[in-house]
Amino acid sequence: MKIIKEFGQFIKMFNGMFRTPENRKMYWKQFMLQCNDIGIGSLGIITIISVFIGAVSTLQTAYQLVSPIIPKTTIAQIVRDSVILEFAPTLSCIVLAGVVGSKIASELGNMRVSEQIDALEIMGINTKAYLILPKILAGLIMIPLLIIVSMVLGIWGGRLAGNLSGIIDASIFDKGVLMDFLPYNVIFALTKSFVFAFLITAIPAFYGYYVKGGALEIGKASTRAVVVACVLLLLADYVLSFLML
């Protein structure tokens, strides 16, 4: 029953976002601010996890492919496809759900509790459109870009680890990465990242916007937002993989 109520409230919130802006310039400013927060703000963590994911993938793949009849280029192919299909979009987005999601939920929650949202409402500003929509739009643009960066860095991390550990030479890795490359995989990964971006931004925004109480409730809302976003993200991952692969 609670889920149905929350879903109804979510739809209502979503519907309320699409109104004519009071001042387009201010909305644009807010959008750019969110792009900076979500995109540039998350670049550091995405860089670190992507490089390490790629590196670990190379080492673990090489560890499992012990047969001399399997060419070493296969390691690069496996790393490439794992990174593009799963690691870059899914793992990065789970991390982003924690980083970006908790920030959105706690920011809006704090604004709600400290009556900043009420102050905006009284000024005649549509707070759903002004506070939530720019976050979702910024997420839809910046998160897929972060995923592209993650893919590149993940593969580069794998190449670096392979080369440094002496498992696979850089030139062989490069050859393997280009071998039998399917551009559709990138399209699939980007489709996932759009869906994930929506979940990462919209769900925490919902929990933060409707928070009631004080600091404790903000913390609870933030945790709940991240948990729900992660669960839905994994569910969406399965559904999209089932439908598109």
Partner 1 sequence: MIEIKNIKKSFGNKTVLKGIDSVFFDGKCNLIIGASGSGKTVLIKCMVGLFQPDNGEVLYAGKNFFDISNVQKKNIRKEIGMLFQGSALFDSLTVEQNVMFPLEMFTNDKYSIKRKRVNEVLARVNIVDANKKYPAEISGGMKKRVALARAIVLNPKYLFCDEPNSGLDPQTSLVIDKLIREITTEFNITTVINTHDMNSVMEIGDNILYVFQGEKEWEGTNKDIILSKNEKLNDFIFASAFLKDAKTMRTIQETGVIPEGIKEELRDSIEENLNIDLDKDGFIGKN
Q: How far is the CB of 33 from partner 1 (least distance, A)?
A: 9
Nearer to partner 1, 70 or 215 (CB): 215
Closest CA to 147 of 200, 226, 209, 73: 200
Closest CA to 21 of 118, 126, 121: 126
- Footprint on this chain of partner 1 (rule: CB under 8 A): 22-23, 25-26, 110, 114-116, 118-119, 121-125
CB of 151 to partner 1, least distance (A): 32
In the bound state with partner 1, the residue whose beta carbon lies nearer, of 64 and 114, is 114
The residue among 39, 28, 9, 37 whose CA lies nearest residue 107 is 37
Rounded to a whole number of angstroms, the minimum distance from the CB of residue 45 to partner 1 is 21
* The two structure tokens encoding residue 122: 């009284």
CB of 216 to partner 1, least distance (A): 17
The four Cα atoms 187, 205, 5, 194 give a dihedral, to 10 degrees, of 0
Identify which of residues 68 and 124 has a Cβ nearer to partner 1 in the complex: 124
Whole-number Å distance between alpha carbons of 43 and 36: 10
Burial class of residue 184 (count of CB atoms within 10 Å of its CB; 0-12, 13-18, 19+): exposed
